[in-house]
Amino acid sequence: MPRFSANLSMLFTELPFQERFAAAARAGFSAVEIQFPYGLPAVELASALGDTRQRLVLHNLPPGDWDGGERGIACHPGREAEFRDGVEQGLEYCVRLGCPQLNCLAGIPPPGVDPAEAWAVFRANLRHAASRLAAHHRRLLIEPINTRDVPGFLLNRSDAALALIRELRLDNLFLQYDVYHMQIMEGDLSRGLERAGDRLGHVQIADVPGRHQPGTGEIRFPHLFRWLATLGYAGYVGCEYIPLAGTMESLGWLKEAGG
């Protein structure tokens, strides 16, 4: 069965953020991920990880104005300097916290921007980010996001992400495959994961519809977990879902999965 990580931005939200690390450890998780760690100093996060013997396996690059509706700025013409500053900030946290990989959100192209220009900016920004992360032996991930929840998101299918990875030929560029997003956009999750091959860098889970815990919707997670083992996937599976009730009450599926 896969190794599971708790996404502390979505799980244990009934607790103050600093207390979620210990809660995850009590629930049996030895690894965590965070969407955006930048609200706390890296030294505080490092202390929380050390105190609970947790490993941070993933966080995102800064997304721009999240509260204002931005979902990444990697495809925004004219904001390349801001993106590069974000790479440095993300890399600093990544190195100080011992995190092996960073996810780059492509973003929603601004109104009036030609799609071809948005893709060109995204490619250039990925080349820069991958180069900076490679200097510190870190991986860069790209994640397709569904356009039902995030209308207009530039990168919204796994085949487009894999085509981009093949085109750029960057050794440390990988796919982050969120089964929630890809069930909405593509379905046929088994084939989607298989197509990723050795470019599958990270997997995240939530059921459809509702983005709740496994077992609340249409995805056959027992099959999915067995399939990941068949494929030889050795990375973590991030639990990035919205618990229907409390987090602890949502974890029954984890015991059944052997986590």
Looking at residue 8, its pLDDT comes to: 98
pLDDT tens readout for residues 40-98: 999 999 999 999 999 999 999 999 999 999 999 999 999 999 999 999 999 999 999 99
* pLDDT averaged over every residue in the chain: 97
- Kindly give the interhelix angle for 189-196 and 158-168, rounded to the nearest 10 degrees: 10
* Angle, CA 100 vertex, CA 94 and CA 106 arms, to 5°: 75
Looking at residue 257, its pLDDT comes to: 79
pLDDT tens readout for residues 98-122: 999 999 999 999 999 999 999 999 9
Q: Which residue in the list 218, 240, 249, 256 is annotated as catalytic?
A: 240
What φ, ψ does residue 104 adopt, rounded to 5°? -105, 115
d(CA 83, CA 124): 11
Q: Which residue in the list 19, 80, 92, 143 is annotated as catalytic?
A: 143
Q: Is the pTM of this model over 0.95?
A: yes
Looking at residue 99, its pLDDT comes to: 98
CB atoms within 10 A of CB 245: 10
Note if 186 is an active site residue.
no
pLDDT tens readout for residues 24-41: 999 999 999 999 999 999
Give yes or no for a contact between 62 and 36, defined as CB atoms under 8 angstroms apart.
Answer: yes
Is 26 or 259 the better-scoring residue by pLDDT?
Answer: 26
* Angle, CA 177 vertex, CA 172 and CA 179 arms, to 5°: 170
Looking at residue 259, its pLDDT comes to: 60
Q: Determine the topology of domain 3-256 in CATH.
A: TIM Barrel (3.20.20)
Note if 82 is an active site residue.
no
* Angle, CA 79 vertex, CA 77 and CA 85 arms, to 5°: 145
Size of the chain in residues: 259
Most distant pair of Cα atoms in the chain: their distance: 49
d(CA 39, CA 232): 36
In the chain, domain spans: 3-256
